[in-house]
Chain A
Amino acid sequence: MNQDMITSTVSGAIRAGTPLLFATIGEILTERSGILNLGLEGMMLMGAFTGFAVSYNTGNLWLAVIAAMAVAGLLATLHAFMSITLRVNQVVSGLAIVFLGSGLSGFWGQAYVGVQSPSFVNFKIPLLGNIPIIGEILFDRDPLVYIGYLIVPLVWLFLYKTRYGMDLRAVGEAPDAADARGINVSLIRYIYTIVGGALSGLGGAYLSLAYTPMWVENMTAGRGWIAIVLVIFAIWDPLLAMVGAYLFGGISVLQFGLQVAQIPIPANIMKMFPYLFTIIVMLFTSSERIKKRFGVPSALGIPYSREEKG
C-alpha cells in the first residue's frame, strides 16, 4: 500500500461512512430511550428523496436538508405513536416504516429520476485545510461531513455530561425508576425517536445531495440496515459509532482499491469482517455485568406502561 492508496482509502472511508454515521447516531439516541426503530432504511430513503426534491424545486440546499430531516422525523413520529402510545410490537412497526418509506419515496420520486439538482460542494477550511495530507483528507470536504465531525462529540457530551442526557439514559435503562423520579417517559421517548428519525433523514440527504447527487429508487441500498448493526457494534456509544461508521465505509472503499492494485482478497470476504466483528461485540456484551458497564439500554424494545406496575 502506497501513500496515495492510504490517502484515498481514508478519504473514501469518511465519505462512505458519513451517511452511516448520521443514521447510527440517530438510532443510538432512539435506542437509548428504549425504543427500537428498525425503520432506518425507510426514513433514510424519505430523507434522500425529500432532500433531492426540495433542492431541485427551490435550489436551496439547506432548506432541502431541513426538509429531509423534517419528513424523516415525521415518519419516526408515526413509529413513536405506534410503539409508545399504542404499544404495538416495535419490530413490526419498524418494518412497516421501511416499506412505507421505500414505497412513498419510490412513488413520488418517479418524476425526479434522471434530473439534476444543486448539490453540496467541497469547502476547504482555511489553515486546517492547508496541512499536508491531513488537510486534504479531513478539511477539504463538503459541509455535511463537517456536521458529522461535530455531531459526534456534541452527542457524546449531551449523553454523558448533561442532565437531559442522564434523563434519556435513565428512561432507556429503568423507565419505572425514571418515572418515579418524575421524568415523563413517553415524552422523552417521543422526542428521541423523532430526533433519531431526523438524523437518519440527514444521512439520506447526504446521499442524494452530496455523495451521489441524484435521486434513484432505493438508492440507500441497505445502508439503513448497516446502521442498525453499527449501533450494536458501537455498544450504543457515539464515539465508537464514528469509528464503526468510518471503518465500514473504509472497507467498502478498500475493496476497490485492492482490486485496482491487483491484490487478490475476495470482496465478499472483506465485506464480512465488520459483521463478524459485530457478532463478537454481541457475544462480549451479552453478560449482564458488561451491559451495565457500557450502559446498554436494558429496556430496549419493551413498551412502558405505568398501570402494569400497580
Chain B
Amino acid sequence: MKKLFVVLVLLLVSIFTFASSLKVAFIYVGPVGDAGWTYAHDLGRRQAEKVFDGKVKITYIESVPEGAEAISVLKSLANRGFKLIFTTSFSYMEQTAQVAKQFPNVIFENCSGYLKSKNMGNYFGRIYQSEFLVGIVAGTMTKAGKIGYVAAYPIPEVVRGINAFTLGVRTVNPRATVHVVWVNSWYDPPTEKEAALSLINAGCDVIKSETDSAAPLQAAEQNHVYAIGYNTDMRKFAPTHFLTSAIFNWGSFYTKTIKEVFDGTWKSESFWGGLETGIVDIAPMTDLVSPQTQRLVKAMKEALENHTFHVFDGPIYDQKGRIAIPAGRTASDKDLLSMNWFVQGVIGSVPK
C-alpha cells in the first residue's frame, strides 16, 4: 500500500513537472504593497510575465521570513517543480546557497548577495550610477546650496549611494552640501517624513529620499521644496515638485535571465549591472529641470554607459579634505562594496 502510494506520488510529480512549461518563482522579503523595494521587484516580475505571456509560469511568495522558514519555502518550491527561483533580498543569501546545494537541477538567483555556485548566481544593480545622475539634477536645482538626504541604514550600499549623489551634486555645484539623516529603518513612512521635515527645517531646498516609502517626497511637496525619489518613479507623490528618481528596472534582468534558462544558455555569474544593462536608470526628468541640465545628464549617462567615465574616478577627497582616491585611479568594486566613509561635501557621519 505504502509503495503504491509512493509510486503514485512520484508519477504525479513527474507528470506535473514535464507537462508544465518552465516554472519560475520569486520570494519577496516584504509585501508587494510596500511601494518600494518589493514593489519594484514585483513590477519587474510582472514585466517578465507579460513578455513570456503564458509560456512561462511565474509565481511569487511575499513577506517570507528570513531564516529557517525561507529554507522550507525554497525547498517546497524546488520540490514542486520550479526550475528557476529568485530570492530578492540579501537576507536570503545563506538559505538560498544551502537549498541550491540540495537541488542541483534548480537554478537560484539571489539579489544583492555575493555567494555563487554552479546553480546559483547573484545579481544587483549599480544604483550609485543613477544616484550620481540625480545628484547632477539636485546640484543645478538647489538655490540654498543645501540638499537633504533621507537615508535608511549606515551600510556600504547606502554610503556609496550618498557619495555618488554628492559627487554628482558637486560636479555642477562645487560649494553645495548634502545633509544626511539616518532613519534607521527601511520602511516607516511617518518617521521617514519627519526625517525629511527636519532637513527642510534646516534650510534644505531639495530632498533626496533613499528609504522605501514616498513619505519624504510628500514632505517636500507640502513644503514647496524639490523632491527626488528612489526605487521606482514616485512622481505621483510630489506632483508639482518632483524632479526625477534613481530607479531599479528589475524587469530587464528578470526577462533576460528567464530567457537564458528557457533556452538553456544560463550560466552562473555575479551580475552587478550598471546603466548600460538597463537594470538601473534615471526616471524621466520633469519640466522643472532645464533642457540644458537634461542634456548634461544625458551626456554623463552616455559616458557612464561607455565606461569613458566612472563615478568614483579620482581625485576624490573625504570629509576632512584628505585625498581618498588619488587622481588617475578609480575605486575598485571591492572598495565600493566596503565603502564606509563620506566624500567631501557630505554633512553627517557614518555611525561606527
Contacts and interface: CB of A to CB of B under 8 A. Distances in A.
Interface of A: 4-5, 8, 12, 15-16, 19, 106, 109-110, 113-116, 207, 211-219, 221-223, 252-253, 256-257, 259-262, 264, 266-268
20 contacts: A8-B197, A19-B190, A106-B33, A113-B32, A115-B236, A116-B237, A211-B193, A212-B190, A213-B218, A214-B215, A214-B218, A216-B34, A216-B36, A217-B34, A218-B34, A222-B188, A259-B181, A260-B179, A260-B198, A267-B184
Interface in B320-352: 347-349, 351
Contacts of B184: 267-268
Given A5-B201, A113-B39, A262-B347, A212 B193 contact: yes
Interface in B213-241: 213-215, 218, 236-237, 239
A55 to B, nearest CB: 15
B277 interface: no
Given A19-B190, A259-B348, A216 B218 contact: no
Contacts of A15: 194
Contact of B194 (A218, A252, A268): A252
B185 interface: yes
Given A217-B31, A252-B191, A262-B347, A12 B197 contact: yes
Interface of B: 30-36, 39, 179-182, 184-185, 187-191, 193-195, 197-199, 201-202, 213-215, 218, 236-237, 239, 347-349, 351
Contacts of A219: 189-190, 213
Contacts of A266: 351
Contacts of A116: 236-237, 239
A221 B188 contact: yes
A207 B33 contact: no
> Which 8 A-B pairs have CB atoms at the shortest separation, nearest pair first?
A256-B198, A221-B188, A217-B33, A217-B31, A212-B189, A8-B201, A113-B33, A260-B202
Nearest to B30: A217
Contacts of B182: 259, 267
B155 to A, nearest CB: 15
Given A4-B201, A113-B39, A256 B195 contact: yes
Contacts of A261: 202
B237 A106 contact: no
A8 B198 contact: yes
Contacts of B202: 260-261
Nearest to A106: B31
A214 B190 contact: no
B198 A221 contact: no
A253 B196 CA distance: 10
A267 B191 CA distance: 12
Contacts of A223: 190
Contacts of B32: 110, 113
A8 B202 CA distance: 10
Contacts of A256: 181, 194-195, 197-199
Contacts of B236: 114-116
Contacts of A19: 190
